[in-house]
Amino acid sequence: MLLSIDVLIQFVIFCVVTATGNYSTYLRIPQETVIPTHYNLWIRPDFSKDIFEGEVKIYLRCNQASDKICLHSKHLNISETFLNQKKAIVGSEDEDKICIEYQDGYRVERGDHQVHIKYTGEISEGNTTGFRKAACGNGVIKYIYVTDFEPIHARTVFPCIDEPPFKATFSIRLTSPNDTFKAISNMPVIGTFKTPKGTVYDFMPSVPMSTYLVSFAFTEFSYYEEPYQELDRSIPIRVYGTNTSKENNGFAVESAKKALEFFTEYTKLEYPIPKLDMIEFRRQESTATENWGLITFREGLLSKSFRYYSDDQMKIVICHEISHFWFGNLVTNQWWNDIWLQEGFATYMSYKMIAKEKGTTQVKQMKDYALDKHYYNELYAPTKSVVSSLMKERDIFDKFTDIVYDKVKTVLRIKKVQEFKSTKTPIF
């Protein structure tokens, strides 16, 4: 019996059975109306002005006729819009959505359509989300222009349907305005060429993925690389930073290798991306983000020279993010009120991997990482529900708390013990 079937079916069942569906309608676009299938995305930044030009072609399928196509878009200045190569009208439904209509009033019929939008946006230095400028370094400071879209910030960089279940493939093109900054993204580079505005990088089309997992960066960092051998293919693993070397970054690369090996073997499903980049920089709100092929980390989680984190802390975060490739990226929640499923399973499975590596029990590993604190908080401190209605954007951001990450892993552990006692067969 393939373990992948057991594990992922359990995860899917959890996603379906526990989905509450409670949300304010203005947050979402009805799934029955339009489905994106592919995005062609081109980003051209101007680092001297902290702005960027963007161009996106969205290939989508309308399941029912309508007078408009609605997309998420926020803080973008749209200059031109085309619907099936015809000039279109853009209206703002609210601060997070735009609606596109034919100029002549024709309806958008059922079937396949193309939306083409040109626009500009701002690069933020203060914000920790969207497309921003960040620093990294201990002594010598270097900069990176990088994205962080989870949960609903892709809409601040390109118009899209910015919800987890709307997966599509992406062909990304990035123009770096100078040779100091190299461009990287979820997928490997397949070609470059020079233009008056800079060097253009074209990337391999992606696997189907949610918009919050789209990632790219313009970086002057160096990198340390080692190959990871998986059956008949070699996957390059790179760590980008300000002072990269085997001594400084070898531990992070080795931790990533072990995580890929463990989750591939455990699920019987191969890692589907032909490379893995990991990059660190100064960030506040989140520790790391599990973007396909390009994981972003808080400064110090990939480099020993910073001495910010212990080896165990570095390893557990790397394992957690890589576990998301299967529990979150591959199998994904319908909406953010059930983020506990992705984060809970990823946390639970990362402890499972660490326990196997150390030859100890999962319960011991969970206790070693201050599990008792969460029992105490649940009993004596004000707590929050794991699943709750999301009526406004702030509610989504508030779901990313220790309660979601740590309480749920304990619940999953209890469920496993109960199932084992009744069936003598572990379910995950």
Annotated binding site for Zn(2+): 320, 324, 343
Catalytic residue, candidates 101, 280, 299, 321: 321
List, in order, residues 6 or more apart from 84 with CB less than 8 Å away. Answer: 113, 114
Instruction: Phi first, then psi: give them for residue 253, nearest 5 degrees.
Output: -65, -45
Cα separations in angstroms, 83 against 30, 170, 192, 211: 20, 19, 29, 21
321 counts as catalytic:
yes
Q: Which two tokens stand for residue 264?
A: 């591939």
d(CA 85, CA 128) in angstroms, rounded, equals: 36
d(CA 2, CA 332) in angstroms, rounded, equals: 21
DSSP state of 73: -
Residue pointed to by tokens 């594990």: 7
Full strand arrangement of the beta sheet holding 69-72: 69-72, 97-102, 86-94, 77-83, 111-122, 51-62, 34-46, 169-176, 198-203, 189-195
Annotated binding-site ranges: 320, 324, 343
Full strand arrangement of the beta sheet holding 142-148: 130-136, 142-148, 216-219, 182-185
Cα separations in angstroms, 108 against 65, 73, 264: 6, 20, 43
Q: Is the Cβ–Cβ distance between 240 and 184 less than 8 Å?
A: yes
d(CA 297, CA 348) in angstroms, rounded, equals: 20
Instruction: Phi first, then psi: give them for residue 77, nearest 5 degrees.
Output: -100, 105
Letter for the amino acid at 48? Answer: S
Letter for the amino acid at 245? Answer: S
Q: Is the Cβ–Cβ distance between 415 and 49 less than 8 Å?
A: no
Q: Is the Cβ–Cβ distance between 67 and 90 less than 8 Å?
A: no
List, in order, residues 6 or more apart from 244 with CB less than 8 Å away. Answer: 221, 222, 223, 224, 303
Instruction: Phi first, then psi: give them for residue 173, nearest 5 degrees.
Output: -125, 130
Catalytic residue numbers read: 321
